[in-house]
Amino acid sequence: MILNSSKQLIGARLSIAPMMDWTDRHCRYFHRLMSKNILLYSEMVTSAALIRGKATHLLDFDESEHPVALQLGGSDPNELTKAAVLGEKFGYDEVNLNVGCPSDRVQSGTFGAVLMKTPEIVAKCCKEMVYATDIVVTVKCRIGVDNQDPNIILPKFLEHISNAGVKRVIIHARKAILSGLSPKQNRDIPPLNYEIIYKMKELFPGLHISLNGGIRSLRQAQSHLDNGIDGIMIGRAAYQKPGEILLDADRLIFNEPIDKVCEKDIVRRMLPYIESQYKNGIKVSKITRHMLGLFSGLPGARGWRKILSENAHSSGPEIVLEALSEVE
């Protein structure tokens, strides 16, 4: 079931960033239990893996995850278009092109943040994906890379993709330093520049712009929304302290009345899923690794993490209840 564009756009008001090795289908199922409105993103999947490697199992997801977007990595328009069509057939609500990841493997594959240097290629890829599919095509980018001046290159980049039919973009408010900084360092060392995101919104009022980078709380997210930014994408904070970020998102960000749900309720709601996946051969630790930060800052959080970290890899679903007893 692909959502209509208006419902999907509502979800874009707050989204969870695509994060390699983190936002897999188990993580997304877990996050969806805490908010029915947030827009979820897959880990990046390369177009080469899907088209040449035939790794379509990477596209599997649960229907409950909607609205959910597929992030693609690549720079070959023909291959990306085929991958986007596959994503649409699998039922994703959006296809997002990765022009923001600064990792070494991304640079060597000619995709990710290095593509900020060739906006015409990005535009060609987007134009062909927009033409070939009926779902939303978006771009996630940085404000620039290396020695680029964001005030010069970012407007040109946004103009290119807008002319290609892209109507929504997520901008990480840092440069990517491709020579000299590791991927981890690129998430923290380049200074945040929120001001330029606001400037881009003024220059491109018809473009839906989401801000990403350094957002650690819903209060911070709401402040940017109140000041005219269209959407907020949260990454590590949502993964490391999911309860704090997601349990109040529907009420605070989407203005929806919700029944009060606590972290313990989420664990209990996860149990049928964990049991089902375990019966299908999935180790409990593959799922619970995404849940370690659920009780962050609460009494018993340390015991919860310790039991799951040390035992979930060799235990059945019952280990989750044992860990839960630490916080009850």
Phi-psi region of 73 (alpha: psi -120 to 50; beta: other; left: phi over 0): beta
Q: Which residues of 177-205 are buried (b: 16+ CB within 10 A; e: fewer)?
A: bbeebebeebbeebebbbebbbebbeeee
Burial of 86 (0-12, 13-18, 19+ CB in 10 A): buried
How far apart (Å, rounded) are the C-alpha atoms in residues 84 and 125?
A: 10
Residue-by-residue DSSP string for 266-292: HHHHHHHHHHHHHHTT--HHHHHTTTT
The tokens describing 194, both together, are 């929120």
3-state secondary structure of 71: strand
**DSSP 8-state secondary structure symbol assigned to residue 165:** T
Half-sphere exposure of 215 (CA within 13 A, CB side): 29
The H or E element spanning position 25 is helix 25-32
Task: Please list the active-site residues.
Answer: 101
How far apart (Å, rounded) are the C-alpha atoms in residues 278 and 111?
A: 35
User: How many CB atoms lie under 10 A from the CB of residue 1?
Assistant: 6
Instruction: Return the residue matching tokens 């296809």.
Output: 95
- Residues 232 and 172: beta-carbon distance below 8 Å: no
How far apart (Å, rounded) are the C-alpha atoms in residues 162 and 203?
A: 12
